[in-house]
Structure 1
C-alpha cells in the first residue's frame, strides 16, 4: 500500500483517522543514525509506527524498530512530540491519517540488521550525509531536534 505525505498543503485530503505512533533515533558507536528507506513512499525515515492496544508508547518504539530493522533496542530518552495537524498521510486504501508521533532515542542492545517488508534499504547514516537523502520534512525535523542535543524535549 502506497502513501503520500502532506505538510501545510491546502490541497491535502481531510484526515479520517488519528494514529498514535512512536519512532526512534537509534545511533551506532560512531554517532550515525539508523534510517530505513520506506517501501510505501521510497523516502528515508526513522524506524517507527503505530501503537498497538497492548503496547506502551516506548514499547511501541522498541517493537517497531525490531519489526522494521531486526535490531533490539532500549529506550534512552525522548526527542519530542510531533502532533502538527498540518501533517497528513494519505494511504491508497482511503485512510487519511493525522499522526501523533512521539520520537525517542534508543541504543542497540542486540539483533542484526534485516530488511523488512516495510523497507527496501537500511543504513546507519552520518549526520553530514543526511541532506543528500530524500526524506520528508517531518523526519528531518525529528533528526534536527535530536542533533541539537536539546536540554528539554521538543513539544509540538
Structure 2
C-alpha cells in the first residue's frame, strides 16, 4: 500500500492553522502579562497608601514636598520619603523597598510593575494626597489614549 504525499493545499492549510494558533497564544500572553504588571503596580500602590496612612497616624501629617502642591517622584532615599525608615514603632512604614542595582549595592527604590521608578506623589491641602503610577505608556495624562495611569483616587 503506497502513501500519497501531502498536496500543497494541505500543507498551506496546516501552516495557516498553526499561524492562527500561534497568534492567539501570543495575543493572550500579552494581555495576561499586562494584567499581571497592572496588578503588581496596584498592590504596590496600596502598600504605599497604607504606609502613608500609618505615617499620618503616627505624625499627624503626610510627607510634605519642598514646594506646596508640587508633584514629586517617590524616592525613599531623599526627603520627604526618607522618614519612611523611622516610624514610631521602630520599623519602617514600608517594607520591601531595598532592591539590588546593577553594581550589587542595595538601593532604596520602589518600582512599579513595569520595573520603573514611576510613582508620583502630590499633597493637597483639602484632599489629602494623590499617588499614582504612569502605567504602561510611561506618560502621565488623562486623555483617552493615556487612561492607563494607576491612581490612588481610583483605588479608594
TM-score, normalised to structure 2, is 0.24
Larger Rg: 2
> Taking CA–CA contacts closer than 8 Å with sequence separation of 6 or more, which of the two structures ends up with the larger relative contact order?
1
Query: What is the TM-score of this pair, normalised by structure 1?
Result: 0.24
Greater percentage in helix: 2
